[in-house]
Chain A
Amino acid sequence: MAEQKLTGIYFCDTGNGHAKDIDINEIKTYLQTLREVVSVWEPKELDLTNFEETKKKLENLKIERMIIAGQTPGVFKAFFARALNANGKNGEEVVLASFKEHLVVNTQQAKTILTCAFYGVSFTLAAMPEETEVHPDTLVIGGGIAGIQASLEIADAGQKVYLLEKTGTIGGHMAMFDKTFPTLDCAACILTPKMVEVGQHANIEMLTYSEVKSVSGGPGNYKVKVLKKARRVNVNTCIGCGTCAEKCPGRASSEFDAGTTMRKAIYIPFAQAVPNKYLIDEDACLYVKKGKCSACVKVCPVPDCINLDEKDAEIEITVGNIIVSTGFKPFDAKRAEQFGYGRFPNVVTSLELERLINAGGPTSGEITFRSKDKFGNWVFTADSESPKSVAIVHCVGSRDEHYNKYCSTVCCMYSLKLAHLVKEKLPETEVHEYYIDMRAFGKGYEEFYNRIKDEGINVVRGSTVKVEEEDGKLLVKSQDIHGLKLLKQHVDMVVLAVGLEPREETKDLSQILGVSTTEDGWFKELSSVTDPVNTNVGGVAVAGVCHGPKDIPDTVAQASAAASRVIQSIIQGKIKKSVKDMRFEEVAAKAKQQS
């Protein structure tokens, strides 16, 4: 500090008052240890309706500078400026310490902000974590559209990326869709070329069927142990002919087809999978479980391609940055028992309907009823009948205190999309859609909503409370809020617009990486307002739905932003350490030093 000015401090409690974890007394005691601070007032100690009295108090204490702290300190700026002016001091000497702006929630943070205000140093400068050297390689965890986008951007900038994916292929949920809202673009036409590009990119090393085991080191230099699960099929030599699967007796429900059909124990997740190679599901393979079969090995035309005894392997990689893009899992519709999923065969989830509509799906694009196969599994086949009426129920598992309180943001729009696609495939079929509020928030979305309403789809404002079975049909109970009518609609098929949930592994991954999560379990960004991609851990960014529900356009935008942070740090050769590791004393010392 160039000159030392006698300072008064005022705590306002406007806005939401002080957060419950802010201990004003502790802060006061601390502030009084600063030599130039002559008084610290709370609202009850200073009557701001009485200008003369306050001005006198400032005058008596010879105050030359005021710091106003709290949620919205700006409100009082003019008042104190006038008081200082009236005392012949400089009215410019009013400093704001805004808790709201800096997302202050506890005493330590409040003290830090006030210290920076006291030394006249900007918080963002004082709290700038130190920088350290950065390893130029990057790890992207999760190969959905978020991870694909981020990997391509970094790789195109000439830097090495490891793209680690848990399943046997990249692609994530987007690969399962037929069309995407609001443009009704063919999902595969956008995604497949990107997947192929990832597979062929010289700067991208894919680690599919792999998991992060542990992470050590720090920002700029992480050592990551990766568990490479045994595929039991050699990715380099397998020609993807599928002869093995034809003979394989092991069966499991297909993840890619959202359980609408069965696949073999040796399988390729879907036709456009990248890598386009087979793998063995050890939980379904009779050799792994009982040591009994080896049919695949016998018929495979490539020598030594299948190794039924292959073991999991572990490798270690070193990276400077990590992007987490692990996506979501759909809400388990069985939890909302009132809708009968699992009890009534033709109550289906939105994801199942996506697969039915898709030409590459279990029914080659026919929307049909669920039926039992010869092994007794419930599946969909093209030769089953089609529904004459369909109801789509919004907000399943979302905006509900029994499940998740948040809005999943994409299900209003994908429901409209599905309604359109059902109508397109089955023009004679009635489609009813029941919603609470229509969240058509994005670019072109309201227009899309209006278009759907014009297509003869019965879009009803009013939530569905229950689905029952009556006379061989499904009975959907709702109220039409606008028409004030109680509705008991008989339909052939009910589609549940299930919400998005954090995946179970998010907890483990957040512990391995040290990244905080929100109460709902999504990864937490550094600042929801100004920094939506970095996290509290230096060199770890988030992208896509693992950070909270969002649609594909927003996912892609965030992935590009995360990639640009990584590229920025590589170009500079430096990366910031973790904000979470900075202590109050450190910031305070830096503020003092910089003043």
Chain B
Amino acid sequence: MTTRVDPGFMKKVKGLGDQNMEMCFNCSKCTAICPMDTNLLPRSLFRYALLGMTDKIKAEQESIYSCLLCKLCEESCPRGVKIADNVRLLRSYLNRDVFNI
């Protein structure tokens, strides 16, 4: 399977809310502390978004909605990534572009 990337993705979602995904340096502390115990929340989702892997984002809807917005990960993040806001942004994207709400 080839993976399609959309370099314009981050621009497209810009108006949907505050985000700072590009601050993330991919350390995975957030994933390791997340109570949901998934491999995707939240680090991998940010990678998909930054690369514009929209197919992946659509396929991982469940993870995106399973986030409790508890911010446990934010406390551990060494880069001050606003993780909950970033997850919210991905939700807004799904709401607008996938579910058309």
**Closest CB in chain B relative to A412 CB, distance in Å:** 14
Does A477 count as interface, using CB distance less than 8 angstroms? yes
Q: Name the segment of B5-13, B23-31, B56-64, B84-92 touching the other chain.
A: B23-31
A577 to chain B, nearest CB (A): 43
Does A463 contact B37, Cβ atoms closer than 8 Å?
no
- Would you call A582 an interface residue if the criterion is a C-beta within 8 Å of the partner chain's C-beta atoms? no
- Closest CB in chain A relative to B41 CB, distance in Å: 10
User: Is B28 in contact with A401, judged by CB distance below 8 angstroms?
Assistant: no
A45 CA / B25 CA spacing, docked (Å): 41
Cβ contact within 8 Å between B32 and A464: yes
Do A486 and B37 touch (CB < 8 A)? yes
Contact A401 B78 (CB under 8 A): yes
Residues in A with CB closer than 8 Å to B80 are: 401
Beta-carbon contact of A479 and B37 below 8 Å: no
Closest chain A residue, CB of each to CB of B39? A484
Contact assessment for A462 and B32 in the assembled complex, using a CB-CB cutoff below 8 Å: yes
Instruction: State whether the Cβ of A302 lies closer than 8 Å to any Cβ in chain B.
Output: no
Residues of A within 8 A of B29 (CB): 463-465
Asked if B95 is at the interface of the complex by the 8 Å CB criterion, the answer is no
Please indicate the chain A residues that have their CB under 8 angstroms from the CB of B79 in the complex.
401
Q: Which of B25, B39, B44 contacts A436 (CB 8 A)?
A: B25
Is B76 on the interface with A (CB-CB < 8 A)? yes
Minimum C-beta distance from B77 to chain A (A): 8
Q: For the complex, is A402 an interface residue (Cβ under 8 Å from B)?
A: yes
A307 to chain B, nearest CB (A): 52
> Do the beta carbons of B39 and A479 come within 8 Å of each other?
yes
Task: Enumerate A468-500 residues with CB–CB distance to B below 8 Å.
Answer: 477-479, 481, 484-487
Chain B hits for A399, CB < 8 A: 25, 78
Most central of B25, B27, B79 by chain A CB within 10 Å = B27
Asked if A479 and B43 make an inter-chain contact with CB atoms under 8 angstroms apart, the answer reads yes
Q: Is the CB of A338 within 8 A of B39?
A: no
Give B78's nearest chain A residue, CB to CB: A400
Which bucket holds chain B's interface residue count? 10 to 19
Contact of B32 among A395, A400, A437, A478 (CB under 8 A): A478
Q: Is B33 an interface residue (CB 8 A)?
A: yes
Q: Taking the nearest CB of chain B, how far is it from the CB of A173, in angstroms?
A: 25
We find that the number of chain A residues with CB closer than 8 angstroms to chain B is 21
For B38, give the chain A residue with the smallest CB separation: A486
Chain A's closest residue to B37 (CB) is A486
Query: How far, in whole Å, are A485 and B37 apart by their CA atoms in the complex?
Result: 10
CA A401 to CA B26, docked complex, whole Å: 15
Cβ-neighbour of B33 out of A462, A466, A481, A485 (below 8 A): A466
Nearest-CB distance from B35 to chain A (Å)? Answer: 12
With a cutoff of 8 Å between Cβ atoms, the chain B residues found around residue A477 in the complex are 32-33
Most chain A CB within 10 A, of B25, B43, B76, B79, is at: B76
Task: Give A466's nearest chain B residue, CB to CB.
Answer: B33
In the complex, A91 Cα to B33 Cα: how many Å? 64
| In contact, A463 and B28 (Cβ under 8 angstroms) | yes
Q: Tell me the bound Cα distance from A402 to B27 in angstroms.
A: 15
B28: which A residues are within 8 A, CB to CB?
462-463, 465, 478-479, 481
Q: Once the chains are docked, how many angstroms separate the CA of A96 from the CA of B29?
A: 48
Contact status of A338 and B37, CB under 8 A, knowing A466-B32, A478-B32, A479-B43: no
In the complex, chain B residues whose CB is within 8 Å of the CB of A484: 39, 44
Q: Which residue of B lies closest to A436 (CB)?
A: B27
Closest Cβ of chain B: how far from A114's Cβ, in Å?
Answer: 36
Question: Contacts A436-B25, A477-B32; is A486 near B39 (CB within 8 Å)?
Answer: yes
Q: Is A402's CB under 8 angstroms from B32's CB?
A: no
- Residues of A near B26 (CB, < 8 A) are 436, 481
| Contact status A479-B32, CB under 8 Å | yes
CA–CA, A157 and B39, complex, Å: 61
Report Cα–Cα, A466/B72, bound state, in Å.
Answer: 12
User: In B60-82, which residues have CB < 8 Å from any A CB?
Assistant: 76, 78-80
Determine if A485 and B39 form an interchain contact, defined as CB atoms under 8 angstroms apart. Answer: yes
Residues of A within 8 A of B43 (CB): 479, 481
Chain B residues lying within 8 Å of A464, measured Cβ to Cβ, are 29, 32
Which residue among B25, B39, B44, B80 has the maximum number of chain A CB atoms within 10 Å of its CB?
A: B39
A465 touches B33 (CB 8 A): yes
Q: Which residues of chain A come closer than 8 Å to B25, judged between CB atoms?
A: 399, 436-437
A340 to chain B, nearest CB (A): 14
Bound Cα distance A487, B29 (Å): 11
Residues of chain B contacted by A478 (CB below 8 angstroms)? 28, 32
Residue of B nearest to A435 (CB): B27
Task: Give bound CA distance, A129 to B33, whole Å.
Answer: 56
Across the interface, which residues of A come within 8 angstroms of B37, CB to CB?
486
Say yes or no: B32 contacts A486, CB within 8 Å.
yes
Give complex CA distance A237, B32 in Å: 60
Closest to B73 in A: A465
* Whole-angstrom CA separation of A464 from B30 in the bound complex: 10
Question: A59: shortest Cβ distance to chain B, in Å?
Answer: 43
Considering the chains assembled together, what is the distance between the CA atoms of A487 and B28 in angstroms?
11
Measured between C-beta atoms, what is the minimum distance from B44 to chain A in Å?
7
* Bound Cα distance A338, B31 (Å): 15
Select one of B27, B39, B44 contacting A463, CB under 8 A.
Answer: B27
> How far is B73's CA from A466's CA once the two chains are assembled, in angstroms?
12
CA distance A478 to B33 in the complex (A): 8
- Are A465 and B39 closer than 8 Å at their CB atoms? no
A479 to B30 Cα, complex, angstroms: 9
Given contacts A466-B76, A477-B33, list 5 more A-B pairs with CB under 8 A. Answer: A436-B27, A465-B28, A465-B30, A478-B28, A479-B31
Nearest first, the 6 A-B pairs at minimum CB distance are A400-B78, A463-B27, A479-B28, A465-B29, A465-B32, A479-B31
Q: Can you list 9 residue pairs at the A/B interface with Cβ under 8 Å?
A: A338-B76, A395-B27, A395-B78, A400-B78, A465-B32, A465-B33, A479-B39, A486-B37, A486-B39
